[in-house]
Structure 1
Amino acid sequence: MTDKNDEKLLDQYIENLEKKNIEVPTMLEERIKERIDKVEIKKKSINPFLSKVLVASLLLVTLFSASVRFFPGFAAYAGNFPVLRLAVDWLQGDSGTEHARREGYNQIPGFTVEKDSYVLKFDNIMLDEDRLVMSIQLFSEDQTGYDEDKRLEVRYTDFADSGGLQQLEYETETEAMIETREEKVFADNELREFLASNPDHINLEVVLSERGSQTIYEFGSITIPIDSEQILFSQKYSIATITNLEKGFLTLHNFTVSPTRMRLDVSFDLEDGYYFTRFENPRLMDAKGNVYQPEGLVSTNTSAVERSMFFVPSIYFDDIHTEMYFAFDGVWVGSEYDDTFTLSLNYEYPKSINFMGEELIIEQVSYRGSGNGEGYLHSAGDDLVIEIRKPENVWLENMEIDGEISSHAWSTGLDENGNPRPHLYGLNVEYRDEYEVTLLFSGRLMDGLQEIKMDLE
């Protein structure tokens, strides 16, 4: 995979995640505190404003992940998961902002903008050195109720990276056309530099568009009033702790404690041919055993070997902590040596392949309109469908053939014979006898439970 293909792969990966209504059972019951049987992914589209945003690899309680190996600088936003609810009402904020509010950290007063037949309502606005968050509701005289084909684009024009993260959006019982939770994550010192001139507001541009990016209405410049003296700044600690992993080293660099959440910056130095995919159940713990979990935006990355992870609630308002612990239940690591294989419509199936010492079973390969090519993903629009069984310690996010990124229907649990249920991968590729397949964002679980002490003195 070369750098010049990164943007193409990302665009197609996001497009395939969004273009079909696929019911996807979650594989992450351990990290989502309530069991979710099925989650519907509705249509989404990455818009031009969000294309410069935040480099987010794990989104919203990690329903899917995008590997830092291929996209060291990609933009994405949390999807439309109607059955998923955070610990507090989503319009009121995540539990990080809710905790800060309970501790007495002031919100910015909400306000309303009326333009022609539209009304924009801004509420639950909170600003610290780490992020600016708010809820936005759009009402229209011409339409009542949720419209899944329309979206709001928000640009933060005072900052070089003007994009933000649309953290959550789904149908509610109000009369709003759109309800969304917006988040702007600041780079190191970005807000401090902005506040140096003592501004009394932050500028936004808001655009209503169709999901295909066609502009419907531009609201023009909108200002959020701020009081620089009321903004609390982050507490920053240098950790510089190196931990041995099975395939290399993990380094904890900086730990940042902000009023609304905490951030841990890490990097990886793995053996040639291996790459980090994700942590299994990452969390922070204090000396008393209290646990701090990812929620909302889970992590971002600025290079192929660096990642920033976020945890809530924050210890900012607690008595001084002299130590914290970063814990996880393993590391998912991928291998360039095992991420390609050849399959053919003429092979006999089931057929086994090796992935990092584990056996994957290709149960069947089918093509639309040919033989058994009339399955679920075929009806959803995919031509080639690959059905694979894998052990629980292997993660296969997606596949790529000729630059086409697969859609993916997850399965959980065991079948009637006690075997893991198969996963389905669908691709729109031309019919031919043989295909070269590349596994994307995949890995094997290694290293087991780790608890790494972080001295904060």
Structure 2
Amino acid sequence: MSDFRDEQERQWPQLEAMKEYTDEILIPPGIDASIWNGIRAARPRRRRKIYTRLAAYTACLLLLVSVASVRFSPVVAAYVGEIPGLRALVELIHYDKGLELALENDFMQPVGLSAVQDGIRMTIDGVIADDSRIVVFYTLENEEKQKSVINLKTVELVDNKDISIASSFYPSEEGWKSIQGTFEFYPNQGAGIPDNLNMRFVLDKVTETATTSPEWQLTVPVDKAKFEGLKEIHDINKTVTVEGQKITFGTMTVYPTRIEVEVNYDPENNKRIFYFDDLRLEDENGETFGTINNGVTGSNISDDQQVLYFQSNYFRKPQQLYLRASSIRALDKDKLEVKVDLEHKKLLTRPDDLLTLNEFDQGILFFGFKDTELKDENTINGSFSNDYRDASGKTFHSSRGGSTITNGVKEIQYYLEQMDYQSPLTLTISDYPTRIHGDIDIKIK
């Protein structure tokens, strides 16, 4: 593997020579049709609650299958074609057009640091960073070809607790050879981007004879001069009304890796707005940049305030830009609570007949959704808040969830703490496949 790595490092200078050529080429409009959903996983930010969407394990498997059929734009293909190992890294971000553009525009910081623990080599391949987030690309290699199954246990910055972390990790099988993924870091308010990421990784590794937890600590430099001052701010400050619900779009901040849009919902609205199905930025050529659909999709400041994250068009520099949408998932505020009778295994209250309780077994609530549309198969994974309470008013926390699709019917699993409860339990809906509709068309510039 050392020859592979030496060749990769030797090829990195070619990027500079290719830069002048690639700067002159644009990706044809319509490439967004090939974007597909990646793994959705995120950890809470300390300053404000993270508004996330976690894909089911089936989505993870779908991603693995889809990698083989990814179509690169001409620019990306030319950019990575002669660089061993980089094509696989591009596959990791193909769901995010903004990160692709960042790579095309020489925004990747090559790193190439590696260390070996317990026969597994961890390599930090590169970094894409700005003031909004840091995307770290890594490769794990099974150098001793051990029969083992590994799972990511811990990722942390050992000396910086003001930066939150999300990661993508592909499940391994016995005899695996190589795994690639990303870690994403989000600075909390006032934290800033450090000069170095002192990263600690721990894997659960199960071999034929023992269970071990190999650990790596690597210091990854971040070239802050590369992105200093790279952002644009637009004051939208416009209010729209959709089926009686008032929505105000505030400031939009454009970074190279993502776009942040502040959204405020009128407290007098009678519906809780969960998410926009098709909110997007569209330029004068009809090219769209949608909301980020993997990892951290937005942040909840309060019930009536959010920051939504979009794929970035920073390197496109559009002359005209519009914010558009037509469909929003929402539910009446007086229907947000679901009461579950544990003794009789039935729902005492629910929003409508769409939601069913299929089973309660071994501390797991199995919910079903009738007539689930294809577009809802991922969105309803996070239908309930992690916090719930029993009849005594005591609050508990669900730390796990899952989902399955059987004969086209969606079922989600909600894991309860092992406690003696006073029935009924009260769960709070955090997403639901009911909608309001109306054309949103706001000119930003």
TM-score strictly above 0.5? yes
Query: More deviation in 402-411 or 323-332?
Result: 402-411
Match of 2:77 in 1: none
Deviates more, 1:250-259 or 1:160-169: 160-169
- Is 1:280 matched up with 2:261? no
Q: 1:137 aligns with which of 139, 148, 156?
A: 139
Provide the rounded CA distance (Å) in 2 between the counterparts of 1:150 and 1:227. 28
336-345 vs 302-311, greater mean Cα deviation: 336-345
User: Where does 1:1-16 land on structure 2 (aligned, <5 Å)?
Assistant: none
Change (3 A) 1:131 1:340: closer
Contact 1:292 1:311 in 2 (8 A): yes
Cα contact 2:340–2:348 (8 A) shared by 1: no
Match of 1:181 in 2: 182
TM-score, length-normalised on structure 1?
0.63
Say yes or no: does 1:83 pair with 2:62: yes
Aligned-residue offset at 1:446: 3.3
Of 316, 328, 335, 1:318 maps to 316
Are the counterparts in 2 of residues 206 and 220 from structure 1 also a CA contact under 8 Å? yes
Contact 1:55 1:300 in 2 (8 A): no
1:122–1:135 Cα contact (<8 Å) kept = yes
- For 1:387 and 1:276, how far apart are their aligned partners in 2? 22
**Partner SS, residue 238 of structure 1:** strand
CA distance in 2, matches of 1:79, 1:318: 34
- Per the TM alignment, residue 208 of structure 1 is displaced from its structure 2 partner at its CA by 1.6
- Closer, same or farther in 2 for the Cα pair 1:427/1:63, shift >3 Å? closer
Supply the distance in 1 between the matched residues of 2:429 and 2:297 (Cα, whole angstroms).
19
Which residue is equivalent to 1:226?
223
Matched, 1:447 2:436: yes
Query: 1:112 aligns to what?
Result: 113
Question: Does the Cα contact within 8 Å between 2:164 and 2:187 map onto a contact in 1?
Answer: no
8 Å CA contact 2:42, 2:296 repeated in 1: no
Given that residues 52 and 298 in structure 2 are in contact (C-alpha distance below 8 angstroms), is that contact kept between their aligned partners in structure 1? yes
Distance 1:133 1:54, change over 3 A: farther
**Corresponding position of 2:307:** 308
Q: Bigger CA drift: 393-402 or 254-263? A: 393-402
**Paired position in structure 1 for 2:383:** 397
Does residue 239 in structure 1 map to residue 225 in structure 2? no
Of 49, 52, 59, 1:58 maps to 52
Q: State the match for 2:286 in structure 1.
A: 289
Post-superposition CA distance 1:49-83 (Å, at most 9, x none):
x7859853234xx637xxxxxxxxxxxxx998132
Matches within 5 A, 1:348-387: 355=351, 358-360=352-354, 362=356, 366=359, 368=361, 381-382=362-363, 385=366, 387=368
Closer/same/farther in 2, CA of residues 295 and 143 from structure 1, 3 Å limit = same
Question: Cα offset for 1:259?
Answer: 2.2
| Alignment partner, residue 204 of structure 1 | 198
Indicate how the Cα distance of structure 1 residues 125 and 452 shifts in structure 2: closer, same or farther if over 3 A, else same: same
C-alpha separation in 2, matches of 1:166 and 1:144: 24
Moved more, 393-402 or 230-239: 393-402
Query: 8 Å contact 2:202–2:214 — kept in the other structure?
Result: yes
Deviates more, 1:329-338 or 1:81-90: 81-90
Secondary structure class of the residue paired with 1:83: helix
Instruction: Give the Cα separation in 2 of the matches to 1:315 and 1:236.
Output: 13
Residue 266 of structure 2: SS of its match in structure 1?
Answer: strand
Q: 1:186 to 1:454 in 2, by over 3 A?
A: farther
- Residue 185 of structure 1 deviates from its aligned partner by 2.6
Aligned to 1:26: none
Give aligned-pair identity as a percent: 12
Aligned pair 1:260/2:252, yes or no? Answer: no
Cα distance, 1:124–1:244 mapped onto 2, change above 3 Å: same
Paired residue type of 2:55: L
The question of whether the paired residues in 1 share the 8 Å contact of 2:163 and 2:191 is answered with: no
Cα-to-partner distance string for 1:152-179 (whole Å, 9 max, x where unaligned): 513174x551332213434499624x53
Query: What is residue 248 of structure 2 aligned with on the other side?
Result: 251
Q: 1:342 to 1:97 in 2, by over 3 A?
A: closer
For 1:440 and 1:242, how far apart are their aligned partners in 2? 26
Q: Distance in 1 between matches of 2:336 and 2:397?
A: 19
Counterpart residue identity of residue 306, structure 2: R
Q: Mapping of 1:321-360 within 5 angstroms?
A: 321-337=319-335, 339-341=337-339, 343=341, 355=351, 358-360=352-354
- CA drift at 1:186: 3.7
**Unmatched 5+ stretches in structure 2:** 1-31, 73-86, 206-210, 391-395
CA distance 1:425–1:323, shift in 2 (3 Å): closer
Provide the rounded CA distance (Å) in 1 between the counterparts of 2:52 and 2:440. Answer: 21
Q: Which moved more, 1:237-246 or 1:438-447?
A: 438-447
